[in-house]
Amino acid sequence: MIRKNSTILRIIDGLAAAGQAGILVRKFPKGHLLIGQGTAVTSVFFIRSGIVKCSFAEDEDKEYILEFLGEGQVLGEIEAISGIPAVSSVRAISDLSVYMFDRESFLNLLQRREDLNGAILLLMANRLADTAQRSARQQLRPLEHSLSQLLQALEHEKLPCTKQELANYLGVTLRSLNRLMKDR
């Protein structure tokens, strides 16, 4: 449910400890917007601790939550690599501690460090697989199924988010979510 990746965090920890240039440690409070959909992204973030939501909006009023990311996950790498404006917004839903790279440093390291390169390839492959699978399941299965999966996942890890956000993650209205919750 909340994606994590300890391999990458270890690599970055190592780089930071070795005094690699271009890495900053930053902290952000819950609610802080790290990346705004449609804007240019100039930094790449690696989550040290905390949770963010990646969400996509079209109308201002409706949002769809693409994923929740936790420890070791990377933010802004897609935009850094492809040069396009941010695909989604990224907002902290708990207090956050991150490593922050400027774009050039990140791309440089990605070329020079084979281990980082491999870890990022792997992370992107996993994300693609997960995203595709979730997208497909949401189309194929009834809402009830996605919901019970979600609730089961939430028993193990608590997610500091509202019910509206859960609905936005499931791609339905809050009303529908409540209905399902009631008559289970």
Partner DNA sequence: TGATCATATGGACAAATGTCCCAAATTAAC
Partner DNA sequence: GTTAATTTGGGACATTTGTCCATATGATCA
Binds 182: which of its own copies, DNA, none (CB < 5-8 Å by kind): DNA
Q: In the 8-state DSSP scheme, what is residue 84?
A: P
Please report whether residue 58 would count as binding DNA according to CB under 7 A: no
- Which is nearest to 113 in space by CA: 11, 18, 7? 11
Binds 117: which of its own copies, DNA, none (CB < 5-8 Å by kind): its own copies
Opening angle at CA 119, ends 55 and 168, nearest 5: 15
Enumerate residues 116-175 that contact DNA by CB under 7 A.
Answer: 142-144, 162-164, 171-175
Least distance in Å: CB of 27 to DNA?
A: 20
- Compute φ and ψ for 42, nearest 5 degrees: -110, -5
- 128/151 with CB nearer its own copies: 128
Check the CA dihedral 32-11-9-19 and report its sign. negative
Check the CA dihedral 65-158-71-136 and report its sign. negative
Binds 112: which of its own copies, DNA, none (CB < 5-8 Å by kind): none
Binds 124: which of DNA, its own copies, none (CB < 5-8 Å by kind): its own copies
Please report whether residue 181 would count as binding DNA according to CB under 7 A: yes
Q: Which residues of 131-151 are buried (b: 16+ CB within 10 A; e: fewer)?
A: eeebeeeeeeeeeeebbeeee
- 148/178 with CB nearer DNA: 178
Please report whether residue 176 would count as binding DNA according to CB under 7 A: yes
d(Cα 98, Cα 48) in Å, to the nearest integer? 5
Opening angle at CA 89, ends 10 and 117, nearest 5: 30
Binds 18: which of DNA, its own copies, none (CB < 5-8 Å by kind): none
Binding site residues, its own copies, CB under 8 A: 56-59, 62, 64, 66, 77-78, 81-82, 84, 87-88, 110-111, 114, 117, 120-122, 124-129, 131-141, 171
Least distance in Å: CB of 153 to DNA?
A: 17
Residues in contact with DNA by CB under 7 A are: 142-144, 162-164, 171-176, 178-182
